[in-house]
């Protein structure tokens, strides 16, 4: 036993010397809508999870410390409307060249979770999963298109491909990823899109997200919100103006009625679904979105939309308080897709964290038509943490200085 004492003592001393936390974000202003926090807080991470949130945590307890003074610390941002089914080689469709790979556009904009909005249907979702989702570092969830071929290999106007039974089967086979049923772009008579999506969603107990097609006397917002959608269903592109969201300069009464019934309204900016002459009067009336999203694809990213942080900055400059902008981009979408394990920084939660700076000055923000809105505040993603790992660090805030960095010896190239 005496021989073991030095070994046990050395092990105890070694354990005591190990830092309690892997990462500490110190001195930042935490905005955590779920927990009702908007105040200076330190956030400590250990084992990929939030270990502690407190007014002050000793930096000596952490292996790595990030000075977040003057910055905003938030839950990892959730972009709940993207198109990321890339790599198929299909030309001119979202199930191909119009989509983007998630990791190229997520972490650099503070996004840790993306929700693909119906790019794939039951026929091609397994390919989407193995080709993109399972290979991405970004967490990618999905709405399953009620059209079997999704947005590409078959027509979205074909009622014969809107089959609830195989959609239900595939959603159950991929229940870890599929968070709802998507309806998009239908432009013919009747309601086969919504009716079949409704059958699938009700059986699965999941929400419907609708990108509503063109309206007429028999297909319009009043019928959609009164008869077709249910509380918890999601209407995306709420500031598009294409479906009479704005009538004679005023918010369509059907929109207010839909909100009263519990319909959720999402931005879904995209390349053609956000216009200042719609968003300004609607927000002045108090019609704010429930969630902020990009409708990311190759067209929108190079036009007025740009990225998630830019869209969040637009809502901020329209007059939404910063706390509301963060809520619309974290806890609100997490609840909408039934993933309440995400979108907050409660102790024990997975450590998905976004650190933002807020600049004040003169900035221009462009809508889908190319028109500019002048604002005085601009958000920037400074640091992104996914599952406890720093995955984006714009200015090296979490990095060791090169003179102290433990470089590995490199072999001479042969």
pLDDT for res 359: 98
3-state DSSP call for residue 352? coil
| Alpha-carbon span 73 to 397, nearest angstrom | 13
Residue 404 belongs to a domain: no
Q: What is the pLDDT of residues 97-141, one digit of tens each?
A: 999 999 999 999 999 999 999 999 999 999 999 999 999 999 999
pLDDT, block means (10 residues), the chain with 414 residues:
53 64 98 98 98 98 98 98 97 95 98 98 97 98 97 87 97 98 92 97 98 87 96 98 94 98 98 97 98 97 96 98 98 98 98 98 98 98 98 97 90 74
Residue 15 belongs to a domain: no
pLDDT for res 11: 47
How many domains is the chain built from? 1
Residue 221 belongs to a domain: yes
Kindly list the distances between the CA atom of residue 333 and the CA atoms of 10, 77, 336, 412, in Å, as whole numbers in the listed order: 49, 9, 5, 50
End-to-end CA distance of the chain: 54
Residue 6 belongs to a domain: no
3-state DSSP call for residue 140? strand
Residue 13 belongs to a domain: no
Q: What share of the chain is helix, strand, coil (3-state, %, to 5)?
A: 30, 30, 45
Residue 331 belongs to a domain: yes
pLDDT for res 370: 97
State the residue range of the domain holding 289.
77-343
3-state DSSP call for residue 15? helix
Residue with tokens 């905003």: 72
Q: What is the pLDDT of residues 160-191, one digit of tens each?
A: 999 999 999 999 999 999 999 999 999 888 99
Kindly list the distances between the CA atom of residue 95 and the CA atoms of 31, 85, 99, 227, 312, in Å, as whole numbers in the listed order: 36, 5, 7, 31, 27
Residue 47 belongs to a domain: no
pLDDT for res 16: 54
| Alpha-carbon span 200 to 181, nearest angstrom | 7
* pTM greater than the 0.85 cutoff: yes
State the DSSP code for 108: G
- For the CA atoms of 200, 204, 209, 211, what is the dihedral angle to 10 degrees? -20
pLDDT for res 260: 98
Residue 359's nearest CA partner among 299, 400, 320, 313 is 313
Residue 234 sits in a domain of what CATH number?
A: 3.20.20.140
Residue 408 belongs to a domain: no
Burial class (CB in 10 A: 0-12, 13-18, 19+), 325: buried
pLDDT for res 1: 52
Spatial contact of 53 and 29, defined as CB atoms under 8 Å apart: no
């Amino acid at each position: 036993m005496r021989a073991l004492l030095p070994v046990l003592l050395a092990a105890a001393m070694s354990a005591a010397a190990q830092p309690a936390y892997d990462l500490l974000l110190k001195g930042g202003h935490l905005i955590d809508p779920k927990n009702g926090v908007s105040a200076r807080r330190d956030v400590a991470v250990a084992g990929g999870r939030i270990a502690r949130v407190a007014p002050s945590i000793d930096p000596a307890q952490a292996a790595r410390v990030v000075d977040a003074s003057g910055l905003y610390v938030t839950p990892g941002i959730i972009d709940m409307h993207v198109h990321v089914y890339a790599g198929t080689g299909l030309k001119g469709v979202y199930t191909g060249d119009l989509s983007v790979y998630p990791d190229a556009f997520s972490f650099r904009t503070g996004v840790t979770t993306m929700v693909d909005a119906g790019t794939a249907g039951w026929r091609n979702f397994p390919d989407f999963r193995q080709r993109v989702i399972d290979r991405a570092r970004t967490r990618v969830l999905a709405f399953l298109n009620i059209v079997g071929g999704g947005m590409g290999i078959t027509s979205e106007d074909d009622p014969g491909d809107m089959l609830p039974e195989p959609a239900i089967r595939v959603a159950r086979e991929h229940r870890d990823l599929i968070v709802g049923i998507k309806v998009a772009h239908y432009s013919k008579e009747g309601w086969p899109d919504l009716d079949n999506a409704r059958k699938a969603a009700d059986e699965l107990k999941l929400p419907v997200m609708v990108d509503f097609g063109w309206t007429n006397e028999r297909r319009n917002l009043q019928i959609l919100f009164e008869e077709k959608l249910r509380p918890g269903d999601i209407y995306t592109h709420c500031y598009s103006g294409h479906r009479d969201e704005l009538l004679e300069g005023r918010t369509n009464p059907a929109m207010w009625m839909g909100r009263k019934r519990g319909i959720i309204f999402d931005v879904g900016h995209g390349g053609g679904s956000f216009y200042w002459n719609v968003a300004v009067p609607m927000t002045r009336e108090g019609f704010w979105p429930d969630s902020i999203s990009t409708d990311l694809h190759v067209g929108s990213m190079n036009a007025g939309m740009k990225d998630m942080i830019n869209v969040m900055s637009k809502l901020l400059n329209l007059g939404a308080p910063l706390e509301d902008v963060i809520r619309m981009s974290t806890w609100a979408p997490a609840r909408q897709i039934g993933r309440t394990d995400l979108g907050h920084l409660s102790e024990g939660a997975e450590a998905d964290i976004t650190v933002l700076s807020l600049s004040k000055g003169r900035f221009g923000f462009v809508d889908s038509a190319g028109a500019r809105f002048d604002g005085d505040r601009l958000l920037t993603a400074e640091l992104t943490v996914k599952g406890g790992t720093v995955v984006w660090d714009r200015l090296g805030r979490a990095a060791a200085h090169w003179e102290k960095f433990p470089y590995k010896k490199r072999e001479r190239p042969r």
